[in-house]
A and B are shown apart, each in its own frame.
Chain A
Amino acid sequence: MREITYAQAINEALRECMREDERIILLGEDIGKYGGIFQVTAGLLDEFGPKRVIDTPISEAGFVGASVGAALTGMRPVVEIMFIDFTTVCMDMIINQMAKMHYMFGGRGTVPMVLRVNIGAGRGAAAQHSQSFHNFFMHIPGLYVVVPSTPYDAKGLMIEAINNDNPVIFVEHKKLYAEKGPVPEESYSIPFGQAEIKREGKDLTIVATSAMTLRSLKAAQEIAGQGIEAEVIDLRTLTPLDKETVLNSVKKTGRLIVADESHKTCGVAAEISAFVAEEAIYYLNSPIVRVCSPDTPVPFSPPLEKAFIPDEQDILTAIRRVMEYS
């Protein structure tokens, strides 16, 4: 199969869907002429024209609000927020409008809208352009939250997100855009709520999200040399959460590491750890260990930023810790 990048896979999903359904429009800052800050929407203005690929002013609350209205009245907007950091200026539109309409109108009105954001430190973009607070959206009922880790998953999940009649937060990762992987040319979708076991193992379970999946796979590969077989589960969607796959794996291995790039306190890993403790504690052979970003702003200083980012080494440390109990 041909290999394309994560950014190209999302671009392809948008293109294929836009060709089939003219209700799909794109809004965002610099997504048209410039092709988006990470080139995810490159070439789409040329093919679909300025009525469907709209460069907006720097006014997130304005264009997210406009998109909620458009979605309610029959369009299917896909909106890019340049960095997840900027969702804070349109939180009212996301949390109080986009996520609530369907519920508050008793189902007589839907918001079939995708909000594309990206997370991840590691580009020297400092504290306001490097955050990973996708966990905020997992906390809010009424939103689907998608965290693809591979080009294949990115395309399939984007097509599913566009076809879904509910608002979806589509969480991309800055450090993944250039990662290549096999992606079919035809259209396909991946259902929400289906985690994928990306590596099977019997000794411990690593539940990972987004870029942490790749880092976990590398760590698992390395530790396999010492006879330790880690199972790596990529959640793929945070909402809905595939608890069953996680629980079955933990029941098999008895050890759990959760790897997620949001801050440790009240992060995604906290939630995963909590439900496993609630539902499967008597299968655990060791403490649960979380590998997350520390509870500090993302540093600008390159050595500090490197220390900040949870990576393979942190996962290996966690693996050694849980394997002490064996």
Chain B
Amino acid sequence: MATEVVIPMLGITVERGRIIEWAKKEGEQVKKGETLFIVETEKVTTEVESPVSGILAKILVPEGVEVPVLTVVGIITEPDEALPDKYRDVTVSSDMAETTAAQNAPERKERVRAVPAARRLAKEKGIDINALAGSGPDGTVLLKDVEAALEGQKTSDVKATFLASKVAREHDIPLEQVQGTGVHGRITREDVQRVIEGKKTPVEGEVIPFDSMRRAIARRMCESAFTAPHVYFFTDVCMDAVAELRLGIIPELEKNFGLRPSVNDILIKAVALNLREFPMLNATLKGEEIHIFPQINIGLAVALPAGLIVPAIANADRIGLVDIIRQRRELVEKARNGNLSMAEIERGTFTISSLAQYDITYFTAILNPPQSGILSVGKTRKELFMVDGQVRERKVATLGLSVDHRIVDGAVAADFLQHLKWRLERPFNMFFPF
């Protein structure tokens, strides 16, 4: 029976994808689980494995054409089977792509087949079982498939795409030195490419083509900067109380939880609580409607060699400081290892971008679409101030707030920032219980 191959769902907000490379040609044999094509979306580039073994009888969507996810892009037939007539004269048009996607949508909602033991392990280890390719009968996900995925997370050196391995061999690059950014930390060709390019310092006159991460950053920054009218606000916040709070709780948190709080953790909590009172800064614009997000998930910008990525701490207003620290540590770790899930990147509703470790007094930040607010954090510096006629020293940081002026008025933004300042200068009120 002919099998339709589709561009899989790659995350809730990913609507379209572009096949950048077919790994098989028409008429070529393909095994189940082999890479069939590489699809690029705004957020990720990923290899798609063949759902069945057979012959790639027809490619319906060629390389470079962007189509909605779930569009049928190719047909795999059994060895002796003729290509069914209905696929014979199909050409790609956006209309057809839309209809096919709609037809396929309910089918794709089915849960993946998995044996219970595989489900249990996946749940325990926080692996999305629906993202795994099953090696059992009818594609059933077996325990060993989950174990393999776990293994892949632990040692990114063993999991690499065939293209990545090939390019790495050609350039004599040991895969152990390459950081994987594909599904479950798999090393993709681009990861290898980055290492190849990283080996040499960019020189004058050199042309560096975009990789998908740079392309996504560029597109999103343009979309944000040229669509949302930004307006900026700054205020100085005395950081003495935050520093004091942090030093005060370090011993107990280290003793009881083995966790060390950072200023950022306290900042995340303060911002999250503040957003409860200012829902317009936890909102997005859709057409002519303002949609307030149902959750408060604080994105934290993490700078990686390849570019910027913003994983988000979920429900930061409701969870305690200990959980914030745990999530933050885990997300930063995953970001560095390149195995953040789509959900962790996409769920952000407000972003904090900190350059506090640099000698930057303050800066303006571009909104992280589709959000309507972003907080920029400059270095903490010492300054002199007057109290009761005496000159004293205090620690001060300048916080900047960028908002989408279409939905947030200046007064609201100013009020938000002032409230945040108030909280940070009296932080002891925020954190009990931990």
Contacts and interface: CB of A to CB of B under 8 A. Distances in A.
Interface in A256-286: 281-286
B119 A285 contact: no
B136 interface: yes
Interface string A284-326: 1111000000000000000000000000000000000000111
A325 B140 contact: yes
A285 B143 contact: yes
B249 interface: no
A281 B140 CA distance: 16
Interface string B109-123: 000000111111000
22 contacts: A254-B117, A254-B143, A281-B116, A282-B116, A282-B117, A282-B120, A283-B116, A284-B116, A285-B115, A285-B117, A285-B118, A285-B142, A285-B143, A286-B115, A286-B136, A324-B136, A324-B137, A325-B136, A325-B137, A325-B140, A326-B142, A326-B144
B117 A284 contact: yes
Interface string A132-144: 0000000000000
Contact of A282 (B119, B136, B137, B142): B119
Q: Is the interface of A mostly helix, strand, loop or mixed?
A: loop
Given A285-B117, A324-B136, 13 more contacts: A254-B117, A254-B143, A281-B116, A282-B116, A282-B117, A283-B120, A285-B142, A286-B115, A324-B137, A325-B115, A325-B137, A325-B142, A326-B142
A326 B117 CA distance: 12
Contacts of B143: 254, 285
B117 A283 contact: yes
Interface residues of A, number: 11
Interface string B131-165: 00000110010111000000000000000000000
A254 B140 CA distance: 15
A307 B142 CA distance: 33
A37 to B, nearest CB: 46
B122 to A, nearest CB: 11
Shortest 10 CB-CB distances between A and B: which pairs?
A282-B120, A281-B116, A325-B136, A284-B116, A285-B117, A282-B116, A324-B137, A285-B143, A285-B115, A254-B117
A284 B118 CA distance: 8
B22 to A, nearest CB: 31
Interface in B375-417: none
A93 B83 CA distance: 69
Contacts of B115: 284-287, 325
Contacts of B116: 281-284
Contacts of B136: 286, 324-325
A326 B136 CA distance: 7
